Amino acid sequence: MIWLPLLAAGPALAAATSGWRGVVGVGLLAGFVGALTGIRDGVPGRELTVILAALVTVTGASALASALRGRRERVLAAVRSVAETAQHALLAPVPGTVGPFQVAVHYSAAAAEARIGGDLYALIPTPHGVRLIVGDVRGKGLPAVGTAALVLGVFREAAHDEPDLLDVVSRIERSLARNLGHDDFVTAVVAGYPGSGRLEVVNCGHAPPLLVRGREVTPLEPARPAPPLGLRALSGETPDLHSLTFTDGDRLLLYTDGVTEARDAGREFYPLAEGLARHLYDEPDRTVAALHEELLHHVGGRLHDDAALLLLRKPAAVADGADAAQEGEAPLAGAARLPDAGAGAGRGFDGIGDGLEDSESAA
């Protein structure tokens, strides 16, 4: 009499993991064991009947709950399938090679079960060369995703239509001015490679990209700060287009503030420039994977903000014997440790080295 009522826990627990048929099977087994045990131990018929009736009731309720749970899971699976299709359409997978570049991308959305958030990226070949954008939308959740979709849609159209990279940025600005609220904005870096070893960069209030030349990592600080996209009308400032050489072996890392503002238990930010210097592999995907793994270790396993990494590498036309011998081995030894990407603001492109040239006028 003391232990027989506990048999009802069987079908109740089975409802959490099994279908309704499994629940009924467990209920029948529990009823058989209860009846056999009650008869063997001389439990009065009235009490045994009450126990078995309660067991039947729990089994029926658990089977119904299991059937409803299965139905909800099927609906959720369909919704997830649609959401994944939409997310792939918004943030289309980037191939390993685009134009003359090797490319690697890693994106982590802070929202559970989500693959996209307020960060955005795109890299596409156009008649005007390879063009790309990495940005961060103010805010989180579905409104941020909607703004990211708007920016990516305008960028993909303008990148094909506009020969001038500044005109691409202007079209995005006009679209956001029509569709965003007064306190909404998007920080972004828009870059283009028209060819001939030249890289064009337009920074609209975003974290400076990191240029890797040889073993040196240098943040590309803009010579004149520009407002984020969507705020040009308030400030009256327009971004500048900067041009620099981008030759064989050079790398460019673009990222969002979810990477550089990730904190460890001691509230220390992740030093991205030093991390990149430690993981200079020939394969961009290995570098990005190592950076992401180190970033997760830094924060203790889970990011609390969207984070995007996009790495370009222009491979050498002909690799020499030394490069071939190092292929797939440890990262380059002696990689320089440099200040964080936020250090040295206002230096412009003067400290980057011989490969960088003066900024070009927007006109």
Is residue 209 located within the same domain as residue 298?
Answer: yes
Is residue 262 located within the same domain as residue 322?
Answer: yes
Is residue 206 located within the same domain as residue 310?
Answer: yes
The total number of structural domains in the chain stands at: 2
In a domain, 41, yes or no: yes
CA dihedral sign of residues 255, 257, 258, 264: positive
Is residue 173 located within the same domain as residue 110?
Answer: yes
Facing residues of 122 across strands? Answer: 133
Is residue 131 located within the same domain as residue 181?
Answer: yes
d(CA 274, CA 186): 27
In terms of phi and psi (left: phi > 0; alpha: psi -120 to 50; beta: otherwise), the region of 214 is left
From 85, 110, 143, the end of a domain falls on 85
In a domain, 331, yes or no: no
Low-confidence ranges of the chain (pLDDT < 70): 110-116, 317-363
d(CA 200, CA 252): 12
Is residue 59 located within the same domain as residue 162?
Answer: no
Contact 362, 222 (CB under 8 A): no
Judged by DSSP in three states, 302 sits in: coil
In a domain, 336, yes or no: no
From 54, 85, 116, the end of a domain falls on 85
In a domain, 309, yes or no: yes
In a domain, 352, yes or no: no
In a domain, 195, yes or no: yes
- CB burial of 159-195 (b: ≥16 within 10 Å; e: otherwise) equals beebeebbebbbbbbebbeeebeeebbbbbbbbbbbe
Whole-model pTM? Answer: 0.69
Structural domain boundaries, residue 53: 4-85
Is residue 121 located within the same domain as residue 50?
Answer: no
Amino acid at 122: A
Counting Cβ atoms within 10 Å, is residue 351 exposed (0-12), middle (13-18) or buried (19+)?
exposed
* CATH number of the domain within which 298 lies: 3.60.40.10
pLDDT at 175: 93
Number of residues that make up the chain: 363
pLDDT at 112: 57
d(CA 275, CA 337): 9
pLDDT at 114: 61
In a domain, 257, yes or no: yes
Is residue 108 located within the same domain as residue 250?
Answer: yes
From 50, 66, 85, the end of a domain falls on 85
Strand residues in 284-328 grouped as ranges (E): 307-313
Is residue 167 located within the same domain as residue 241?
Answer: yes
Is residue 241 located within the same domain as residue 220?
Answer: yes
Is residue 140 located within the same domain as residue 67?
Answer: no
Contact 201, 181 (CB under 8 A): no
In a domain, 363, yes or no: no
Is residue 49 located within the same domain as residue 100?
Answer: no
CA dihedral sign of residues 71, 75, 81, 83: negative
